[in-house]
Chains A and B, each alone.
Chain A
Amino acid sequence: MANTGWDEFEIGAMLRTFEGEAGDIAGTLQEDRNYTQNSSFSASVADWRIEKPVFNKDFCIDCQFCWIYCPDMSIISRDKKMIGIDMDHCKGCGICVEVCPTNPKSLLMFPEKEEEEEVIAAWPAKEKKEK
């Protein structure tokens, strides 16, 4: 589809997101969907990022604040648990880090070049509350 010329369009310039018949999309998780090349799900905006969020699941309480406030559907939650970040679609805005309520935060922003294992090993300690 990406290489379709102007004269090869479907009439009405219809873009189909799924292969074949699509029934109950609201009941189908992303990994089970049969996307076509027309869905922006098959594209990536990873090159927009300057900083990336890193997820440290040791401190996560699965409150799902990051899931609801992520503007790019990049927080992957399955069975009420936060399991990771979709790095193809994350634009690195940092909202998830701001809304994370744990102490220390279970999501932090790091420069794109940092290694994930290294920053998790050097995760900041719990901050004491100022009285």
Chain B
Amino acid sequence: MSEMKKIKNLKEFSTSADRFEGANLLCPGCAHSIIVREVLNATNDDLVLAASTGCLEVCTAVYPYTSWDASWIHIGFENGSTAVAGAEAMYNALKTKGRLKQPDRNPKFVAFGGDGASYDIGFQWISGCMERGHNMMYVVLDNEVYANTGGQRSSSTPIGSSTTTAPAGKVSYGERKNKKDMVSIMASHQIPYSAQVAPNKWKDMVKKIQHGMAVEGPVFINAVSPCTTEWKFDPKDTMMITDLATDSLVFPLYEIIDNHELNITYRPKNVVPVEEYLAAQGRFKHLFKDQYKYLIKEWQDRVDEKWAYLQRREEARV
């Protein structure tokens, strides 16, 4: 059972039997379920899952229905990570005592959380799990806003984004603080693997998930998840926006192994200007007014700087 699933191409991948069901109540065009499917389909092993409160949790477990075909724990806003860590600890204890009915099944422990639950509210819980070294994976569905409660800013919201608690108008251009670099923070816990993924690069994503499930110890994955409702674009454009995010290098795809080996896993052939990424979304609409136009250049500079930093770090192996 614990042999790694071989996925050479998309046709082969499409023979997977989904363990996440339709008729969940996520918005049409939501990237959350695309990410969840790619994570769950990357393995054939048994899964123990949990989701911190957020869109994913409330939309997939509406009484009397559940959308999960694996063991799944419905838990509070902050402790999706600790619920899974606890399950993992109990599994190990029972295995040591020889009390498991099927000890050779090797389940994988995965927790999902939104950016609100991971960057803000559940931060110290995740930090604790990473520090204690549980054999688990934490996946952030990063849509850069508290989408479930109506679009409040989180510490993942980027500069210039208009949210309900940081609205753009005459005096303000919206969110004023830059987004927290969660992948590096988690890598600094000396965990064996942390990575940033995007649903449009499914092969890169599956490779990273499989690597993460194979290593012993805690794994942190940050997945960009465009939100049709709060980023304000048409549901059909989800993949287009994700393409823009990865090709403009706003969301560079990379992995950090043991906090010293950084690998950039996707280098776009044609780098798209950040302006195109911003222009495609309603939440950045005000940046194109004369008053705030200087912010677009700042955005581009910031993205270039980050990309240069990643490349330098990749070369230096630090």
Contact = CB atoms under 8 A, between A and B. Distances in A.
Interface residues of A, number: 50
A43 B23 contact: yes
Interface in B49-89: 60-62, 64-70
B166 interface: no
Nearest to B31: A71
Contacts of A39: 21, 65-67, 69
B14 A68 contact: yes
Contact of A45 (B16, B17, B19, B23): B23
Contacts of A44: 23
Interface stretch (B152-160, B237-245, B285-293): B237-245
B40 to A, nearest CB: 8
Nearest to A80: B11
B15 A89 contact: no
A69 B22 contact: no
B66 A95 contact: no
Q: Interface of chain B, helix or strand or loop or mixed?
A: loop
Nearest to B45: A26
Q: Interface of chain A, helix or strand or loop or mixed?
A: loop
A67 B14 contact: yes
A29 B19 CA distance: 9
Interface residues of B, number: 49
Contact of B17 (A18, A25, A48, A71): A25
Interface string A55-97: 0000000111101111111100111100000101111111101
A88 B23 contact: yes
Contact of B70 (A25, A40, A70): A25
Contacts, number: 139
Contacts of B268: none
Given A26-B17, A64-B11, A92 B22 contact: no
Contacts of A37: 64
Contacts of B37: 68, 71, 73
A28 interface: yes
Contacts of A1: 64
A92 B234 CA distance: 12
A92 B236 CA distance: 9
B17 A29 contact: yes
Contacts of B11: 62, 64, 80
A88 B18 CA distance: 16
A94 B33 contact: no
B233 to A, nearest CB: 12
B22 A74 contact: yes
A94 B29 contact: yes
A27 interface: yes
A73 B59 CA distance: 15
Nearest to A22: B69
Contact of A98 (B34, B202, B237): B237
B30 interface: yes
A15 B240 CA distance: 36
A29 to B, nearest CB: 5
Max chain A C-beta neighbours (<10 A), residue from B17, B61, B237: B17
Contact of A77 (B15, B23, B33, B70): B15
B316 interface: no
6 contacts: A17-B68, A26-B43, A29-B17, A67-B10, A68-B13, A94-B236
Question: Which 7 A-B pairs give the minimum distances between C-beta atoms?
Answer: A89-B22, A94-B236, A93-B29, A93-B28, A91-B28, A93-B235, A40-B65
Interface of A: 1-2, 4, 15, 17-18, 25-30, 33, 37-41, 43-45, 48, 62-65, 67-74, 77-80, 86, 88-95, 97-99
